Chain A
């Protein structure tokens, strides 16, 4: 019997299994095939901090969520159309977000008595009527995989590692996809291990054929290409885009890139990826700790390089004193903070936007630094490039905020041509016959960058207060006040060189403005699209990339709306700054659960505010 093909506008799939089940790989490979078909997509990997939590437990469940469609996709989706549960624990953790009528694909060998016990089930939920609301496909993935690998010189344990590929093959069948890109990927990954390669490919094919030949499955789905802006696209994750942005800024400024970092989730991939790009002249340095990481970048920057350091919240805390030094030295430096749940070690693999106040204020004394935040995986590219540009052109350290959700999430990216990206002009100081004044400022209030090796410009800088213009150590009271004001004014003046804040969607004036920053971009946009474009309500979306200084028109823009709602994955941080600077009674919407805000909950809140 030929299965019928049903066309879907958008689908949310969640792959869930044990940490060792390869769910991240499964999800990312499925993503690759989907994007190559031209659908829009948003992904959300969600995994435990433990490398291998005890097998079969709720704590060990690792998931990969993806939302793709023939229309524009802004979030990974609130509820799943399809849930793949490799074991009982994966079902228990995820079932509450499977849509009514959704498809559950369950690996029955993951529901044996041991797995049921570890997941806390008294009886097998697959045999329970509770699942009556769903279409349940039971398949013994373990047995089917072992069968298709019969004859290969591999132990049972090794054979079981291909289980995820069987499921992937089945999903490819279900969504009418051919596994070409995955097979290319596997060929590259296992080019020295033909047996493992064979096992993986056989499993994919077996999964695909299982769908094709087993008559249980009567429906296949098709998702058409999305109506995205014409152009050439690639799939990109946030940390990847950050890496590309840094290398691009290095090339466009002509400054060699130095990246000093200490491994920390979820920022480590930036270090890993940059380390591979040595042929771009990139120097990476795995420092002994977070402090050495930023200090090495300061040293590189003092020497005339693009000095960058990257970390997450706890590491930011450690870098604080050195950031103060960079502010005092007034040299370019970019500090990347891929935020995660905190405080302290917090939730290493979960997302949060709770380092904003730390970025803005978390240093001793008056220590102003520009702050730039990325709003989506691909936006990391432009935003980090902007951070580099501001640092170099305004002679200041800059904080770039990303977070775990956009760092690991992915989306299609219409990447630019290198030639279309503007240069970043760099001017090193040259001797001009006059005595050199290291703290003589230009119209931007930035000081000259005089690098060692330049004859005639020998000078000393340091963390002690500087005398205006000469840069000599000064304890003079009036000078200190002047310098504090100058440093603040220098950062504020950057706003004159920034683009005006635009409205993402919606009217220029109206009842409600939803103001966001960072990774809430997608969810706010999809809510406002519904409310404004479909329901015709007077709601607009403004999303901030520049958090210090704010674009100069922001105040005017905010005052055009009766109400301002600020959703954040923190306990209310941007809202404090907005209230402080613009004296408006903004309303907060704060979810601090380590996961992105859902469209349903935000829409509900927006409607409530509209009606109040």
Chain B
């Protein structure tokens, strides 16, 4: 995948800070995501006034207040719908949606899937901490089965969503996963998301150190990450492990972990971002890491597809209708087809 090189811009990380005090809990993963975003945005070459951050409700949704661009902190679950109307009418803007697992997948689940299928050219950063933080610790639609929370004192009986699989199921054209503390990986994914023309869905594992601390520790900690996280690179074989000695091979449609030292690398699965079927299989690498013989959790870009964006199609339709019928004449419109005169 080619990433267009960023044109020179005078925008700096400092310019993106606002005078508002950041009010996330100390130690929250949101700080890291904010920092990575502020670090990355200047590299994208977009003038600051063309950037709009739209969020819903939840901890993550305070994000726009801390970023000195245009922004709207809207209502629960609806950032995606608001962004749709904005992008439909203002294709010139770079629109970013900040949402969380509750905001985007629970109350806003409906709008999310429809945004993905319509393919507006906007970027979604979904901060997934698998818990409701702002309402103080209820389970979320991504919380694991049997999770003990304030609202599930005997364990959750809600089966969780797999956000990446959901996005693929809704025919998203760009689907990726990263994590809050991945200070090299996350900026790369943000750049890729921006470069993609169409809706970019980025799930970011984010630690809520108050209500769900350590939920993604196995993927973020140095000791466990190599064996638990699988970093996807287009055109490269799926290799992981502390000694880079484990690979993934497809046996029919079934993925299996092999020891490269025994099997060699020649028949390893080569990651192809444009392969939708394989992306669906990768999305199902979703086992509980406590389960024996589980597959590693993939990070990176699962899938990319080029498809016309909604706003392009809308503009094209307006243009072609206008060419055919001529620009609307208000007097003709008011007059209608048939009139009569009273003298």
Name the contact of A296 in the complex, choosing from B85, B322, B336, B337 (C-beta under 8 A). Answer: B85
CB pair B93–A283 under 8 Å, yes or no, is no
Chain A proximity of B341: nearest CB distance (Å): 5
Contact with A along B144-158 (1 / 0, CB 8 A): 000000000000000
CB pair A38–B342 under 8 Å, yes or no, is yes
CB pair B89–A305 under 8 Å, yes or no, is yes
- Given A38-B340, A453-B93 in contact, is the A325-B75 Cβ separation under 8 Å? yes
Is A234 interfacial (CB 8 A cutoff)? yes
Contact with A along B311-343 (1 / 0, CB 8 A): 000100110011011111011011111111111
Within 29-72 of A, Cβ neighbours of B (below 8 Å) are at 32, 35-38
Is A6 interfacial (CB 8 A cutoff)? no
Give every chain B residue within 8 A of A226 (Cβ-Cβ): 342
Within 221-256 of A, Cβ neighbours of B (below 8 Å) are at 225-226, 228-236, 244, 247-248, 251, 256
Is B71 interfacial (CB 8 A cutoff)? yes
Is B235 interfacial (CB 8 A cutoff)? no
Chain A proximity of B110: nearest CB distance (Å): 6
Give every chain A residue within 8 A of B324 (Cβ-Cβ): 279
CA distance A231 to B50 in the complex (A): 49
Is B114 interfacial (CB 8 A cutoff)? yes
Is A604 interfacial (CB 8 A cutoff)? no
Is A216 interfacial (CB 8 A cutoff)? no
Give every chain A residue within 8 A of B50 (Cβ-Cβ): 452-453
B94 nearest CB neighbor, chain A only: A452
CB pair B92–A453 under 8 Å, yes or no, is yes
Tell which of B61-69, B224-232, B243-251, B287-295 binds the partner: B61-69
Is B39 interfacial (CB 8 A cutoff)? no
Give every chain B residue within 8 A of A452 (Cβ-Cβ): 49-52, 70, 86, 90, 93
Is B18 interfacial (CB 8 A cutoff)? yes
CA distance A291 to B81 in the complex (A): 8
CB pair A277–B81 under 8 Å, yes or no, is no
CA distance A232 to B322 in the complex (A): 28
CA distance A233 to B67 in the complex (A): 55
Name the contact of A36 in the complex, choosing from B84, B111, B340 (C-beta under 8 A). Answer: B340
CA distance A322 to B314 in the complex (A): 25
Contact with A along B107-138 (1 / 0, CB 8 A): 00011001000000000000000000000000
Within 246-301 of B, Cβ neighbours of A (below 8 Å) are at none
Is A288 interfacial (CB 8 A cutoff)? yes
Contact with A along B1-41 (1 / 0, CB 8 A): 00000000000000000101000000000000000000000
Chain A proximity of B40: nearest CB distance (Å): 18
Is A472 interfacial (CB 8 A cutoff)? yes
CA distance A35 to B340 in the complex (A): 8
Give every chain B residue within 8 A of A296 (Cβ-Cβ): 81-82, 84-85, 88
A236 nearest CB neighbor, chain B only: B336
CA distance A281 to B340 in the complex (A): 29
Give every chain B residue within 8 A of A458 (Cβ-Cβ): 48-49, 68-70
CA distance A258 to B68 in the complex (A): 27
Is A113 interfacial (CB 8 A cutoff)? no
CA distance A41 to B30 in the complex (A): 65
Give every chain B residue within 8 A of A583 (Cβ-Cβ): none
- Given A292-B78, A322-B75 in contact, is the A417-B331 Cβ separation under 8 Å? yes
- Given A299-B86, A415-B334, A452-B52 in contact, is the A462-B65 Cβ separation under 8 Å? yes
The CB with the most chain A CB atoms within 10 A, among B326, B336, B343, is that of: B336
CB pair A279–B325 under 8 Å, yes or no, is yes
CB pair A321–B88 under 8 Å, yes or no, is no
Is B72 interfacial (CB 8 A cutoff)? yes
Chain A proximity of B336: nearest CB distance (Å): 5
Is B47 interfacial (CB 8 A cutoff)? yes
Is A295 interfacial (CB 8 A cutoff)? yes
- Given A283-B318, A418-B330 in contact, is the A288-B111 Cβ separation under 8 Å? yes
Is B83 interfacial (CB 8 A cutoff)? yes
CB pair B331–A418 under 8 Å, yes or no, is yes
CB pair B82–A298 under 8 Å, yes or no, is yes
CA distance A225 to B340 in the complex (A): 11
CB pair A256–B331 under 8 Å, yes or no, is no
8 contacts between A and B (CB under 8 A): A233-B342, A234-B335, A281-B328, A283-B89, A288-B114, A303-B86, A458-B68, A458-B69
- Give me 7 other A-B pairs in contact (C-beta within 8 A), A181-B338, A298-B85, A321-B75 excluded: A32-B338, A279-B325, A281-B318, A287-B114, A296-B82, A460-B73, A462-B73
A-B residue pairs, 7 tightest by C-beta: A462-B73, A299-B85, A296-B85, A280-B328, A295-B81, A299-B86, A292-B81
